[in-house]
């Protein structure tokens, strides 16, 4: 996409437990629009074609009754995570279903938005080879110990958390590929301060030629 009358596109990434969602939530609370890949992916899990594919891949047990409507079946997120995130093969399969749909959403939002800045929260930004789709890249980084601690506090089993971490590209491989690294090994106030500092300098970021949101 040419840098003509389009929003500034900010890509925000970080491995599981890094605190990227906390960073993005704070930016959103202070007026920036955040587009979450995970939120869009969860919405697409309600698509009938996606549900059918997952039932075929696994079993009808992957479906459960919706909390909002007992007459509606939805994907059992916990069971899906248990099946998918401990296996690279199954992770790739799920991504092959969901990622093209999320990228279509990204492209439509980028083309239609009237806002000056759009921030995209994309956990698998580098894994999906999307680094050339943004004007500016931010990596939220934290030590493995800190990330595991956060995940365990959220109720994640340590063994499962470690397997999910194993399937992501390590931070050390991403640091030289981004414009800004935010270390998030301290408290939430430090993270908010870093977010404020970034927001205060957004006007200095320049648009550049970026490629469309498509898988390559």
Q: Which residues pair with 183 in a beta bridge?
A: 141
Q: Residue 47 contacts by C-beta under 8 Å, 6 or more apart in sequence?
A: 101
Q: Residue 3 — very low, low, confident or very high, per pLDDT cuts 50/70/90?
A: low
For 8-44+87-204, the fitting CATH number among 3.40.640.10, 3.50.50.60, 3.40.50.300, 3.40.50.720 is: 3.40.50.300
Q: What does the block give as tokens for 16?
A: 């599981």
pLDDT of residue 2: 60
How far apart are the C-alpha atoms of 145 and 136, rounded to whole Å? 28
Percentage of the chain exceeding pLDDT 90: 78
How far apart are the C-alpha atoms of 104 and 110, rounded to whole Å? 10
The answer to whether the pTM exceeds 0.85 is yes
CB atoms under 10 Å from CB of 52, counted, come to 10
64-73 contact pairs (CB < 8 A, 24+):
none
- For residues 43-60, give the mean pLDDT: 96
Backbone angles phi, psi at 60, to 5 degrees: -60, -15
Burial class of 131 by CB neighbour count within 10 A (0 to 12, 13 to 18, 19+): middle
pLDDT of residue 88: 84
- Beta 180-183 vs 33-36: how paired, if at all? unpaired
Poorest-pLDDT segment among 68-72, 105-109, 139-143 = 68-72
């Amino acid at each position: 996409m040419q840098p003509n009358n389009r929003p500034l596109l900010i890509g925000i990434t970080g491995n599981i437990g890094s605190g990227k969602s906390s960073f993005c939530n704070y930016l959103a609370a202070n007026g920036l629009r955040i587009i979450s890949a995970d939120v869009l992916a969860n919405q697409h899990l309600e698509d009938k074609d996606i549900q059918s594919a997952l039932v075929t891949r696994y079993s009808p047990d992957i479906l459960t009754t919706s909390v909002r409507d007992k007459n509606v079946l939805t994907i059992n997120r916990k069971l899906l995570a248990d099946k998918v995130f401990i296996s690279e093969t199954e992770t790739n399969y799920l991504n092959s279903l969901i990622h093209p749909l999320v990228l279509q959403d990204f492209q439509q939002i980028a083309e239609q938005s009237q806002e000056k800045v759009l921030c995209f929260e994309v956990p698998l930004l580098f894994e999906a080879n999307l680094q050339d789709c943004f004007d500016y890249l931010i990596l939220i980084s934290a030590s493995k110990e800190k990330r595991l601690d956060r995940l365990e506090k959220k109720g994640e089993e340590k063994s499962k958390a470690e397997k999910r971490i194993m399937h992501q590209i390590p931070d050390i491989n991403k640091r030289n590929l981004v414009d800004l690294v935010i270390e998030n090994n301290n408290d939430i106030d430090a993270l908010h301060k870093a977010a404020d500092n970034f927001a205060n300098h957004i006007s200095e970021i320049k648009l550049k030629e970026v490629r469309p949101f498509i898988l390559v």
